[in-house]
A and B are shown apart, each in its own frame.
Chain A
């Protein structure tokens, strides 16, 4: 080879490496697939839009890297990705129905509140080959109970848990409100300064019911009894329910919260309001702390702080805990194992740390530096008052009726008592038909 031809060859080789390598890495993750299209084995994976396809660049790029490493180690596989919409209840019902009809995905993200329904219907396939007994034992007790059956089989992997907290701009609200009254006073003061005092979900979606339920649970209210029968509109629960409705109704009617809360159907609306500097406080998820850190300029982010949700008194607190699981819906053991590996190697651990999500295994908090921040001490403390949604088949309809009730009350088209009676009747009718 002459000197010129060597130089030419070297130039093209370097160009191919420098230009080609990133192209290959990018090609391994597309909008509908992870891996090479001609890989002989296919796993269908129905996931939410919060990670691999997140609108947040840092999150999406981080998960693209994790998925790329994962699939490179398994060249015989490709993962066909199917996105779930944000309408959680309907998406989950569709997955269940499709799976029962034999048309479901091989692997799917199941909302923790829906896991009991999937277990009841016997569609979850064990993933014991992937998870050791030590790893299962390391799960938080309520998580371990939810993801295993009586035989000790691992039917899903709850890869993160979450909770609702109060965010506040400390330049407007320096001290964390501890009670409902303190929150209202702080919000009214902020509204007087031209800010939106307090924002929360109030539109027609699951987040509205879940976030509001903390106010009901803080008083000791119960949605269903031990048999899964709805009791939220009976006896003491009725009083607690109406008290919690009156609290948010008063926030809107007094001007502490803008009327637009009854149209908010996305947690991203709070990030936008924080970025625009228009909101003084909002009730959001713990995961939004990391999003605010990456979205806001450092000096603006420094003003934001989180605290436990206020209660009717400082001693009566609750917060809704949720999170997502990953479960195998296929009876092919190889695919079920791959599904478990996705949960273990991508999501639980590195995926948690990447997004600042709360792991469900105690050891992971020690393993990653991402959990060294003071906010995680607050989250851990608030989790002591965590309440998860009941694993009852009627829950989606209870949630639906709470969304309707809050929408009607906050928009002034119904009074709380009448709306509660209508909700109770609708839930009762749905329960009898289940």
Chain B
């Protein structure tokens, strides 16, 4: 729709708005844009943690992108992120629907249940890793293995087997991140018009049919938005893995964010770490663009 205001009035209004927006723009520039630009600058340099850049070239990009370990790291990241995002969405959705249904039926303890799930969200990543490290301890007196032993299962090599170590890292990540998905889906589910369910009920639809015909289609924008947010969060996860497995055994749980951290703090390679940070940034951006594109097509 075209504006009915003359162009000169619009320009005057924009000029008047700029001074009011300037502080916010300045803050954004200082705290977000400058560090990101500095990562770009360092990626083209030969900087180490103990030496300022002495030259600028594409050599660091070439070294990092031809590193034989990178494909393995990217595959680990893909598995960790992909499985985490799927499970986070499913568990978050299940808890959100459980809460909504429980509240609708006036069940006691729903607020306590919601608080309990949210409590895991505020636990710092390092603490999360340490908590699960104690639970997954494979010693004969380890918590989970002892419990499994009572029912005649196990022991399970939670952290010493490469495949199980990945499963353990995903469990720890899901335990902490579920609350976020739950909040997103809970809010979206509450916003669905109850009349739709009433009509479906009159038409004889059971709960399963109502879920697929009403809930899922109505939640698809929330699912898309949550996928972006949870994916970016998971891509950047390294602290809980650092505390839980350190990336091991071997490189079995060394995701890109942790590899970036190790490149900087073990190799002291600030330039290499910056290139890896840019790869991480590009992956997150590409994924977000993909989902946003889909959202815009849906909106249209």
Residue positions of A touching B, CB distance < 8 A = 85, 87, 89-90, 93-94, 96-97, 100, 117, 121, 196, 202-205, 258-263, 265, 269, 272-273, 276, 278, 393, 396-397, 399-400, 403-405, 407-408, 410-411, 413-414, 419, 422, 425-426, 429-430, 433-434
Complex: how many Å from CA A34 to CA B81?
43
Asked whether any CB of chain A lies closer than 8 Å to the CB of B140, the reply is yes
Range for the number of chain B residues in contact with chain A: 35 or more
Complex: how many Å from CA A324 to CA B249?
27
Among all A-B residue pairs, the 4 with the closest Cβ atoms: A204-B246, A408-B250, A204-B248, A263-B159
Contacts of A90 on B, CB cut-off 8 Å?
261-262, 265-266
Cβ-neighbour of A400 out of B46, B126, B159, B266 (below 8 A): B266
| Dominant secondary structure of chain B at its interface with chain A | loop
Closest chain B CB from A360 CB (angstroms): 27
Contacts of B246 on A, CB cut-off 8 Å?
87, 203-205, 265, 403
Is there an interface contact between A407 and B269, defined as CB atoms closer than 8 Å?
Answer: no
Is there an interface contact between A263 and B50, defined as CB atoms closer than 8 Å?
Answer: no
Complex: how many Å from CA A265 to CA B241?
13
Is there an interface contact between B140 and A276, defined as CB atoms closer than 8 Å?
Answer: yes
Closest chain A CB from B45 CB (angstroms): 11
Closest chain B CB from A200 CB (angstroms): 13
Count A/B pairs, Cβ under 8 Å: 127
New contact pairs (20) apart from A204-B249, A400-B266, CB-CB < 8 Å: A87-B242, A87-B246, A89-B265, A93-B268, A203-B248, A259-B157, A260-B138, A260-B157, A263-B248, A273-B139, A393-B268, A396-B267, A397-B267, A399-B266, A404-B251, A407-B252, A408-B250, A411-B161, A411-B250, A413-B249
Residue positions of B touching A, CB distance < 8 A = 46, 48-50, 63, 67-69, 126, 137-141, 157-162, 165, 242, 245-252, 261-262, 264-269, 271-272
Is there an interface contact between A429 and B268, defined as CB atoms closer than 8 Å?
Answer: no
A252's nearest neighbour on chain B, judged by CB, is B160
Complex: how many Å from CA A289 to CA B6?
85
Closest chain B CB from A84 CB (angstroms): 13
Is there an interface contact between B161 and A433, defined as CB atoms closer than 8 Å?
Answer: no
Is there an interface contact between B249 and A262, defined as CB atoms closer than 8 Å?
Answer: yes
Closest chain A CB from B9 CB (angstroms): 50
B159's nearest neighbour on chain A, judged by CB, is A263
Is there an interface contact between B269 and A433, defined as CB atoms closer than 8 Å?
Answer: yes
A431's nearest neighbour on chain B, judged by CB, is B267
Contacts of B268 on A, CB cut-off 8 Å?
93, 393, 396, 434
Contacts of B141 on A, CB cut-off 8 Å?
272, 276, 278
Is there an interface contact between B250 and A269, defined as CB atoms closer than 8 Å?
Answer: no
